[in-house]
């Protein structure tokens, strides 16, 4: 895809798309840790709603001038922006947080690593995009790294792995994210990235609002505390605003299939964060898996990758 500059983008024009695509999974890895940690106090739909409400508040002062200036583009592009907002902001995030009520953050982060396979398959089926042989090799090597971490270096453990209800919700969430990533192909090029993100957040909030109200009335309300609010605000700023800006810009420059492979970095960051902050042990199979993942990304991101 062309590397034209986009008005209203937070990172500077010369920022490497590969740097942006590395930072986005790092911020999302932190989100999974926070989402799992808050699941008893903050129900999944409340987490989704307030995460994006806070994100909209952070974004509004910077995006609103672009929204006003480009309103005619937003109205003309509603048939693209509405489904992207419903899938990429509302439904995708809600399903992920629902899944975290029934599975661990580690499983969630690792299952994210199947996104590249979904994106490559969907891109081939619907867009007829093809990867070179060495890029397919990179996907395979990186996936082997994910499986090495998932299995803890044991084939028997890998064969014994079973998906629970939470894992299935997360897999469905990942499918929606893959569709969103491919759908970025149709983002109006004359629409600045800040105006685009503002628009799809509004759509996502409208999508999730009735479900959040129903959850509060029928199931359980959110537990309000300074810690919970601060955690959601941090997720809103880093895992929502900055991560989405970085991801959208990276996909624009290198394409969905190559960008999708960078989600394999999530188990890398997840393992390291758990080792640093939670005191979990860093085993040899972790290091082997990380090495394979980084090798696969290096292969697929070589010059000439689409």
pLDDT tens string 256-273: 777 877 887 887 787 787
* 296 located within any domain: no
* 22 located within any domain: yes
pLDDT digits (tens, 9 = 90+) for 77-92: 999 999 999 999 988 8
* 245 located within any domain: yes
Taking the C-alpha atoms of residue 259 and residue 22, their distance in angstroms, rounded to an integer, is 9
Find the mean pLDDT for residues 265-285.
75
Residue 279: the pLDDT is: 67
Residue 107: the pLDDT is: 67
Q: How confident is the model at residue 165 (pLDDT cuts 50, 70, 90)?
A: confident
Is 130's pLDDT higher than 50?
A: yes
Residue 163: the pLDDT is: 61
* 111 located within any domain: yes
Q: Are 234 and 52 in contact (CB under 8 A)?
A: no
φ, ψ dihedrals at 187, nearest 5°: -65, 130
Q: How confident is the model at residue 252 (pLDDT cuts 50, 70, 90)?
A: confident
- How many domains, the chain? 1
The pTM of the full predicted model, rounded to 2 decimals, is 0.77
Q: Enumerate the H helices of 86-192 as residue ranges.
A: 92-99, 105-111, 115-122, 133-151, 155-159, 165-183
Closest C-alpha to 262, from 3, 16, 98: 16
Q: How confident is the model at residue 228 (pLDDT cuts 50, 70, 90)?
A: very high
For residue 152, the tally of other CB atoms under 10 A from its CB is 14
Residue 293: the pLDDT is: 76
Helix or strand (DSSP H, E) at 231: helix 226-234
Is 148's pLDDT higher than 90?
A: no
* 277 located within any domain: no
Q: How confident is the model at residue 189 (pLDDT cuts 50, 70, 90)?
A: confident
Taking the C-alpha atoms of residue 184 and residue 23, their distance in angstroms, rounded to an integer, is 19
Domain that holds residue 31: 17-135+159-271
Is 57's pLDDT higher than 80?
A: yes
Taking the C-alpha atoms of residue 251 and residue 20, their distance in angstroms, rounded to an integer, is 10
pLDDT digits (tens, 9 = 90+) for 66-79: 999 999 999 999 99
| Exposure string for 263-282, b = 16+ CB within 10 A, e = fewer | bbbbbbbbbbbbeeeeeeee
Rg (CA), the chain: 19
Taking the C-alpha atoms of residue 127 and residue 120, their distance in angstroms, rounded to an integer, is 10
Is 58's pLDDT higher than 60?
A: yes
Find the mean pLDDT for residues 42-63.
94
Highest mean pLDDT among 33-47, 214-228, 256-270: 214-228
Is 7's pLDDT higher than 70?
A: no
Is 6's pLDDT higher than 50?
A: no
Q: State the maximum Cα–Cα separation within the chain, in Å, rounded to a whole number.
A: 59
Highest mean pLDDT among 126-130, 172-176, 252-256: 172-176
* 153 located within any domain: no
Is 304's pLDDT higher than 60?
A: no
Task: Transcribe 56-88 into DSSP letters.
Answer: HHHHHHHHHHHHHHTHHHHHHTHHHHHHHHIII
Q: What is the dihedral of CA 41, 87, 106, 131, to 10 degrees?
A: -170
Find the mean pLDDT for residues 181-197.
91
What DSSP character marks residue 100? Answer: T
Residue 4: the pLDDT is: 31
Q: What percent of the chain has pLDDT over 90?
A: 36
Taking the C-alpha atoms of residue 37 and residue 133, their distance in angstroms, rounded to an integer, is 41
Task: Transcribe 197-230 into DSSP letters.
Answer: HHHHHHHHHHHHHHHHHHIIIII------HHHHH
> Helix crossing, 265-277 with 17-37: angle to 10°?
50
């Amino acid at each position: 895809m062309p590397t034209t500059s986009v008005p209203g983008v937070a990172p500077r024009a010369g920022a490497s798309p590969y740097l942006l695509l590395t930072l986005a999974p790092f911020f999302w890895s932190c989100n999974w840790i926070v989402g799992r940690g808050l699941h008893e106090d903050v129900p999944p739909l409340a987490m989704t709603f307030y995460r994006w409400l806070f994100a909209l508040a952070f974004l509004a002062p910077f995006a609103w001038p672009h929204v006003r200036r480009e309103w005619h583009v937003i109205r003309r592009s509603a048939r693209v922006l509405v489904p992207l907002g419903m899938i990429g902001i509302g439904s995708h995030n809600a399903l992920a947080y629902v899944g975290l009520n029934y599975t661990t953050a580690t499983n969630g982060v690792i299952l994210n690593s199947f996104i590249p396979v979904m994106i490559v398959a969907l891109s081939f089926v619907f867009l007829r995009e093809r990867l070179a042989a060495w890029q397919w090799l990179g996907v395979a090597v990186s996936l082997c790294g994910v499986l090495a971490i998932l299995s803890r270096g044991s084939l028997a453990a890998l064969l014994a792995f079973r998906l629970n209800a939470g894992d299935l919700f997360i897999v469905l969430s990942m499918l929606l994210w893959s569709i969103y990533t491919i759908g970025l192909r149709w983002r109006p090029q004359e629409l600045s990235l800040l105006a685009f993100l503002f628009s799809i957040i509004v759509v996502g909030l409208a999508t999730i609002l009735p479900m959040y109200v129903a959850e509060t009335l029928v199931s359980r309300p959110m537990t309000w505390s300074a810690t919970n609010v601060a955690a959601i605000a941090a997720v809103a700023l880093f895992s929502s605003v900055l991560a989405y800006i970085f991801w959208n810009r990276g996909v624009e420059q290198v394409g969905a299939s190559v960008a999708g492979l960078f989600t394999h970095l999530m188990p890398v960051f997840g393992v390291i964060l758990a080792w640093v902050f939670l005191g979990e042990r860093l085993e040899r199979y972790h290091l082997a898996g990380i090495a394979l993942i980084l090798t696969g990304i290096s292969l697929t991101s070589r010059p000439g990758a689409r």
